[in-house]
Amino acid sequence: MRHWLILVAMVAGLALPGCGDDDNTTSDDGGIDPGPDMEGADAEPDVAPDVEPDVEPDVEPDLPADVPTDVPVDVPTDVPTDVPADVPTDTPTDADPWDVVVNVEFGTTITPVNLASLPRTVIGTDEGVLLSDVVDAAAPTTLWPNTYDFIGSDGFDPLVERLGNDRGRLPFYGELPLGYLYWDTATSLRINWDATLGFPASLRVSGMNGGTIRLMAMTATELLVRGGGARVLVDIATLTTVDFTDPRHPELGPQPMVPLTSVLAAAAVTGADALEYQLFGSDGHTYADDHLLPYANLTHAYIKPADRGVVLEDGFDSTPSWRNRDTVVLLGLAP
């Protein structure tokens, strides 16, 4: 392209008037003197060579001497600690996992119990809430003349689905301190029991968050017998009676009573003669754990179907006495 421009310029120079006279500085017709820089019409014009333009390297700009080049950054070392009273200082935490409800059902009364309000204890590696504390918080009118069923929030009922509706296979109140609720998973509260009770796995009910503890009332003539492999509700009104006079109340004369040995036989207690026995009344009354009723003395003891009172023949009782009123549990224990 540059060569074409040079050629055009040369042609234009040839066409100018007077440009062909080499001897005169000015043409006769007033043409322009080519001047000393032109040797004639055939002279090449000065053309700048193809060169790269000078480019200044990247350099820091020169700053006036009075402009500081390093400006210190002030970082505060003391931050005010005063926080307005209406600004919370505590970091929010996750909700209390024990803020859940278990229902306690007694007759037609259902009482929700929030576990967050109850004490917790550590059993083995588990943190749990004792079943007895849950029931006590609901404050049913009677505790001992019942067995206890547990229904998960999914509706699973071990009494109906695993135990053939046999209420005698359920725990009684004195065993609830040996059972507890714990978080089996992040979303499921489960029951666990002391292994010495020998309860079936079906009583380790899961999903108890939102579940129910149901008190199953005994009838007025039922007695729960536990021991020697047995766990049976015995209806003493169905057993054969003998006439016996209570030595403390001879004025009442002979009364129909059931020998306690007959109760053990009805419950099919194995090795009954090798056990010692503890009686519990409907109010929880019992004698000391270290003052159990020997089998030899039990063979001289009777229970009245009319009021479940236990009496002994003269000479086979002790001090303190083994007599009991309104007996609801007969517990056989290995010495």
Query: Number of structural domains, the chain?
Result: 2
Q: pLDDT digit string (tens) for 263-290?
A: 999 999 999 999 999 999 999 999 988 9
Quote the pLDDT of residue 161.
98
Which of 3-12, 144-153, 180-189 has the lowest average pLDDT? 3-12
Q: pLDDT digit string (tens) for 90-115?
A: 444 568 999 999 999 999 999 999 99
Determine how β-strand 327-333 pairs with β-strand 222-227.
parallel
Among 217, 233, 253, the domain-final residue is 217
Are 146 and 186 contained in the same domain?
Answer: yes
Tokens of 223: 């007695």
* E strand segments, the chain: 101-106, 109-114, 121-123, 126-130, 146-151, 179-183, 189-193, 212-217, 222-227, 230-235, 242-245, 254-259, 276-281, 293-294, 301-303, 310-312, 327-333
Are 117 and 175 contained in the same domain?
Answer: yes
Tokens 């008190």, located at residue: 215
Quote the pLDDT of residue 58.
55
Quote the pLDDT of residue 257.
99
Q: pLDDT digit string (tens) for 20-45?
A: 444 444 444 444 444 444 444 444 55
Confidence of residue 2 (pLDDT cuts 50, 70, 90): very low
Quote the pLDDT of residue 95.
86
pTM of the model: 0.72
pLDDT above 90 (res 54): no
Are 280 and 174 contained in the same domain?
Answer: no
pLDDT above 70 (res 191): yes
Q: What are phi and psi of 134, to 5 degrees?
A: -65, -45
Are 122 and 187 contained in the same domain?
Answer: yes
Beta-carbon contacts of 327 under 8 Å, excluding residues fewer than 6 positions away, are 223, 279, 280, 281, 282, 303, 308, 309, 310
pLDDT above 70 (res 71): no
Which of 9-18, 74-83, 155-164 has the lowest average pLDDT? 9-18
Distances (CA, A) of 84 to 77, 78, 88, 91, 172: 21, 18, 9, 16, 56
Among 176, 195, 217, the domain-final residue is 217
Task: Look up the domain containing 173 and give its range.
Answer: 101-217
pLDDT: is 32 or 64 the higher one? Answer: 64
Beta-carbon contacts of 189 under 8 Å, excluding residues fewer than 6 positions away, are 100, 102, 181, 182, 183, 206, 207, 208, 209, 211
Query: Which three-class secondary structure state does DSSP give residue 259?
Result: strand
